[in-house]
Structure 1
């Protein structure tokens, strides 16, 4: 699962992109900005049905690769993919969700440290919701999570892990514009040494906003003004990234707006897609099986784009020709069905991964069967 997520998240995102996801109540928007040549922000919304808890678990995750360091985009990719691929088996093992979140952050921290040799890093802001009005948050770095209330107000519920915030806590230290502009992180995924992580439990029927620092740089007053005058969630997040560009576009800017009030946590059994993770990003939607093989019922009927497969097919023929007709069989290399190169394209109608033919040469198989009948 991690390999599939990594390949998915490493797709380049150019210009401005946005998407609205009704299934998880999310709106995503991102821009590369006007200065940077690569978008090193990674943002996804996701859900899976927990057999252990008998409910949907929802995730909203943003990571901002640190510019100026080695492979900032890759660090952000590893942060998101490792966090998400780690937390699902932990939840299914029966441990508390807050502990699962903490352990998953440590797993992401370890893989980023190892993959960049301590020379790269990323922020992490994540929301995990398991019940109506109940959610957990975790934040590492200077990406932010805001709570959006029904009274049309917005306020930050996480704390920035940066020099500016650290100095603000100390009495007698006056902040100036130089400190504000030349700000450094005091904590991030992939940093040297131990990482302290705090998971917060929240109870509120509210909307939430997750942003990278490219949006927070537009200023608190502008962010509040955009929120107070929004007509739709999509309009709000798109105005956030546009204002970031209008003010110079010095950094990548990304936002996830999550509306938790109308989410379905306990669906009818017939409506549940078991043993899979559903992921939405600015590229679209993908289903990742959690088991080794998907059930046949999950394949769409509509035709989609063909995808390259490495699956091998072998013919097994017994020496007795009479028995060989009945014993004709195919062995499919199951391992390659969901390797990192096997991320399927998306059906435009029902939005699921389609494994078209599993890479088998059907014409050759038909010829072999005809030869057996002779």
Structure 2
């Protein structure tokens, strides 16, 4: 169905884009799925696992071309809601939808500036929703032709450089007591939605990296050598995704397991060709296409959105005293940030179409 957006203020229109993405990511979906994006060199997969009643992981990719023939901006993100805290799945959804909105809003800035603005806006949006009593981890790749790819990390989702026959290199450090400060335990010191004091890790992808794997801890909790061996020996990305997802289940499936695999070399080739003006968003279950329409001044504004029949995210006044993501915890910030990291809202004129990817699969228990 199509829903008209009649609000006249830029803020309302910016919120409409972010809410549309959030609603789409919150739709009813199978417990397991994998999307091999044939027009985009990536595999996105997620699995609820064997011991969780809800999948609080979110995996999504965005490709933005402001106008026809322009070089696209690419973002691939995984987020893991902190299940022991408040509304982990909703926090992960809000983290990605607000991250994507800020990338669109700041599309004319440098890549690292866009990364900083996007993670700041995501942190602010999740904090506004949960008040520090809920949050999500986030790992992301940003790609723009002509610039070195950038990765962002907050929490304990991870990013690996990999490829067939390539030595696996872990590019991120967990924001845990054990890894961040050399202590003991997996309690998280940082996460999206913590409020004041957030210090995201932003760096360039090492020169020569062929592929990247973005994982939640349901994937990388398995033995590090085993994970590296699977990535090293898999003949192609789909096989690596299938094998890691199956292995996570064979090892007990104790948590939601999600992975995004990106072919950087193919991405460079596609980006060089350019794309029609517009926005595409992928997740493991399908694709959402958004037509980009600008007026003479090229000031975007939201015209219409296609929204699935899914209840929108709403704040909940319930307070909880335990802040744990599975076996992990998190410190609650002492006060809200004194600065407002939210970007200035911008008009966005959008026409959104949602379609199910033809290659969607619910998955099975067999490895490939």
TM range (shorter): 0.7 to 0.9
| Structure 1 residue 149, shift from structure 2 partner | 4.6
Residue of 21, 29, 40 corresponding to 1:5: 21
| Structure 1 residue 336, shift from structure 2 partner | 6.6
Q: In the alignment, is residue 164 of structure 1 matched against residue 168 of structure 2?
A: no
Matches within 5 A, 1:275-290: 276-290=278-292
| Structure 1 residue 347, shift from structure 2 partner | 7.1
Post-superposition CA distance 1:105-149 (Å, at most 9, x none): 110001101111221000110101112783000000000000015
Residue of 53, 77, 87 corresponding to 1:61: 77
Counterpart Cα distance in 1 of 2:356 and 2:188: 41
Counterpart Cα distance in 2 of 1:95 and 1:52: 19
Counterpart Cα distance in 2 of 1:148 and 1:23: 21
Q: 1:200 to 1:108 in 2, by over 3 A?
A: same
| Structure 1 residue 48, shift from structure 2 partner | 1.4
Counterpart Cα distance in 1 of 2:302 and 2:164: 49
Counterpart Cα distance in 2 of 1:195 and 1:22: 36
Q: In the alignment, is residue 346 of structure 1 matched against residue 355 of structure 2?
A: yes
| Higher normalized contact order (CA 8 Å, seq sep 6+, divided by chain length) | 2
**Comparing both structures, which one devotes a greater share of its residues to helix?**
1
Counterpart Cα distance in 2 of 1:162 and 1:12: 32
- SS of 2:85 mapped into structure 1: coil
Q: In the alignment, is residue 40 of structure 1 matched against residue 56 of structure 2?
A: yes
Residue of 254, 261, 264 corresponding to 2:258: 254
Q: Is the 8 A contact 2:286 2:357 kept in 1?
A: no
Post-superposition CA distance 1:263-282 (Å, at most 9, x none): 212326xxx321x2111111
TM-score (norm 2): 0.74
Q: Is the 8 A contact 2:173 2:180 kept in 1?
A: no
In structure 1, the partner of 2:8 is none
RMSD (CA atoms): 2.7
- List gaps (5 residues or longer) in structure 2: 1-16, 296-300, 310-351, 361-368
Counterpart Cα distance in 1 of 2:60 and 2:145: 20
What is the total number of aligned residue pairs between the two structures?
294
Matches within 5 A, 1:177-192: 179=185, 183-192=186-195
Post-superposition CA distance 1:71-120 (Å, at most 9, x none): 000000000000011112212xx321111110111100011011112210
Q: 1:16 to 1:52 in 2, by over 3 A?
A: closer
Q: 1:341 to 1:280 in 2, by over 3 A?
A: closer
Matches within 5 A, 1:355-374: none
Q: In the alignment, is residue 200 of structure 1 matched against residue 187 of structure 2?
A: no
Residue of 121, 128, 134 corresponding to 1:120: 134
TM-score (norm 1): 0.72
Q: Is the 8 A contact 2:123 2:195 kept in 1?
A: no
Structure having the higher Rg? 1
In structure 2, the partner of 1:85 is 101
In structure 2, the partner of 1:23 is 39
